[in-house]
Structure 1
Amino acid sequence: MPRPSRREDVRTTAARIFRQQGYLAATMDLIAEEVGLNKGTLYHYYPAKSAILYELLSEQVDGTLELLARVPLTGSGYDRMRFFVREQVALVATKQDELVVFFQEVPWIDQRLPQAQARSIHQRIYRYEEFVKALLAEGTRTGEFRDFTPATVLYSIIGLLAYLPNWYRRPASAGTDGWLIDEVTDFVMHGISAPTTGPARGEETGGEGVHRRRGVRRASTAGAASR
């Protein structure tokens, strides 16, 4: 009977090590030791450290592109943008090591990866950025969003999302807390919406709902501190 693959264990462990020590400081020896494999078996799964990094980066950008494919093709710019933000918050909040590594290492992919792989990552990131900028530009054109430069809003949202896994720690299997999705989405949408666009705060969440989520957040934070 063939042994079960340890590929996922290798990838998960490498993501943690890349996050904690940085890509350059991490070694295949250390990854093999942490996973409990000999070096020969590790190279069976990945021929080089760069192959692990490429797979980690690809998974993150491909997951985001799949999310964009679910954004409704019709409807108001406000509703389509709100859908995008909610889905992306839910996606990134439990990625933790993988997402941190993505934003930590993607500025250096031309030095870290073979040329063809680096170009592939750049092309996919470009597709994502152009989609979101077009969505923002549409909302500005229809008067639903403030007259911001789309790139300014895009990179501000990316920065907010990139930092989520640094403070919100929850197992991926547990999903993302609803209050987090609601509050981050409200924060973004209220920031970019024209003054008269979108439902009032009370209509979106309900006055009592806001307090309930804040209570959950405080309890969650206290629980994390006690652990």
Structure 2
Amino acid sequence: MPRPSRRDDVRTTAARIFREHGYLAATMDLIAEEVGLNKGTLYHYYPAKSAILYELLSEQVDTTLELLARVPLTGSGYDRMRLFVREQVALVATKQDELVVFFQEVPWIDQRLPAEQARSIRQRIYRYEESVKALLAEGSRTGEFREVTPSTILYSIIGLLAYLPSWYRRPTNARGDGPLIEEVTAFVMNGIRAPEAAPEAPAAGKGGGVALTARGPRATTR
């Protein structure tokens, strides 16, 4: 009877080691020792350390593109963008080692990977970036989003997602990642949506209180 594959164990362990030690300092010997395999078996799964890195990076960018493909082609720009942001936050919350490695190593892929593999990763990242910028630009055109520079907002969101695994620790209670997902999604969407029209102030002489104006609350008197 064939032995079960340890490929997933190797990839998961390598992600943790790349995160803890950095890609350059990590070795195939260390990965093999942590997984409990001899080097010959490890090389059966991955012929080189760069092959593990390429698979880790590919998995993350392909999963993100799959999330993007789920966004409806029609409907409210706000709802479409909110769905995508929410799904991205949920992904980042559950793939901590892998996402840290992705953001940590992507700037160096030309040094870490063979040229064809590096080019493939860059092309897929470009597809992601252009699609999200198109969503943001569309929301601005329809008036659902404030006037934004799509690149600025895109890279701000990426920065938020990149840092999240560095501090977030998944809770063990029944609510799980739900509060994080909802709060971060609301934070992003509140930052880009167009301001709502301010309510009209009460007519003069109708009593004291607080009136909402375009410049914020102001006291009113009789």
Tell me the TM-score normalised to structure 1 length: 0.83
1:195 aligns with 195
* Structure-1 residue corresponding to 2:57: 57
Distance in 2 (CA, whole Å) between partners of 1:5 and 1:22 is 26
Any residues of structure 2 matched to 1:211-222 within 5 Å, and which? none
Paired residues of 1:94 and 1:169 also in contact (CA < 8 A): no
- Aligned twin of 1:138: 138
Structure of higher RCO (CA pairs closer than 8 Å, 6+ residues apart): 1
* Residue in 1 that maps onto 2:179: 179
Shift of 1:72: 1.1
Matches for 1:1-227 after TM superposition, within 5 Å:
1-170=1-170, 177-196=177-196
Superposed CA RMSD in Å reads 1.6
Kindly provide the amino acid, as one letter, of the partner of residue 12 in structure 2: T
Structure 2 CA distance, aligned partners of 1:3 and 1:143? 58
Match of 1:222? Answer: none
Structure 2: distance between partners of 1:115 and 1:171 = 40
1:19: Cα distance to partner?
Answer: 0.2
> Structure 1 residue 170: deviation in Å?
2.2
Q: Identity of counterpart residues, as a percentage?
A: 87
Runs (5+) with no aligned partner, structure 1: 198-227
Q: How far did residue 40 of structure 1 move?
A: 0.6
Are the aligned partners of 1:28 and 1:39 in contact in 2 as well (CA < 8 Å)? Answer: yes
Greater share of strand residues, 1 or 2? 2
The alpha-carbon deviation at position 160 of structure 1 amounts to 0.6
Rounded to whole Å, the distance in 1 between the matches of 2:22 and 2:163 is 17
Shift of 1:94: 1.1
Structure 1 position 100, deviation (Å) = 0.1
Query: What is the Cα deviation at residue 179 of structure 1?
Result: 1.0
Q: Which runs of 5 or more residues in structure 2 are unaligned?
A: 198-222
8 Å contact kept, 1:17–1:26 = yes
Aligned partner of residue 93 in structure 1, secondary structure: helix
Which TM-score applies when normalising by structure 2?
Answer: 0.85
Which runs of structure 1 show a deviation greater than 6 angstroms over 4 or more consecutive aligned residues?
A: none
- Tell me how many residue pairs correspond in the alignment: 196
Contact 1:93 1:176 in 2 (8 A): no
Q: Which amino acid aligns with 2:181?
A: I
Residue 166 of structure 1 deviates from its aligned partner by 1.3
Higher helix share: 1
Could you tell me whether the CA contact under 8 Å between 2:171 and 2:177 is conserved in 1?
A: no
Deviations 1:2-54 (A, max 9, x none): 11111011001100000000000000011011111111110000000000000
